[in-house]
Amino acid sequence: MAKNNRLGQPFSEFYAEECAKDPGMEARVDVLVEELHLQAKLHEARKAAGLTQKQVAERMNVNRSFVSKLENHPQNMKLSTFQRYAKAVGMHAEIALHA
């Protein structure tokens, strides 16, 4: 059986082929990309405020591991928790819907 060798194939071609095989893949990837953006934004906001996770945790009245979990796995964060995090780093949380 010949092995399908995709080494050297441009990612865009590979991605298009995989999406053609699995119509739901593109939507799942979009969700993951948004989660990665949120993860980066949380970390950037804390760093821009000059705060450690421990300091943010104290401001939120939670433990440091909770803040670490928020920053590293934000996908199931409640809106109220997001707002508390934003306030703890001196920011305002804003949610927007776009067409």
In a domain, 92, yes or no: yes
Range(s) of the domain holding residue 65: 50-99
The string of pLDDT tens digits covering residues 76-88 is 889 999 999 999 9
Q: How far apart are CA 21 and CA 14, in angstroms?
A: 11
Question: What's the confidence (pLDDT) of residue 53?
Answer: 97
What pTM does this model have? 0.72
Q: Find the CATH number of the domain harbouring 91.
A: 1.10.260.40
Q: Number of structural domains, the chain?
A: 1
Give CA angle at 36 (33, 42), nearest 5°: 145
In a domain, 18, yes or no: no
Give CA angle at 61 (78, 36), nearest 5°: 40
In a domain, 9, yes or no: no
Tell which residue, 97, 25, 91, has the closest CA to residue 59.
Answer: 91
In a domain, 66, yes or no: yes
In a domain, 19, yes or no: no
% the chain with pLDDT above 70:
95
In a domain, 35, yes or no: no
Residues in Cβ contact with 17 at an 8 Å cutoff, skipping those fewer than 6 apart? none
In a domain, 43, yes or no: no
The string of pLDDT tens digits covering residues 40-54 is 999 999 999 999 999
What average pLDDT is seen over the chain?
89
In a domain, 24, yes or no: no
Q: Mean pLDDT highest for which of 3-12, 70-79, 82-91?
A: 82-91
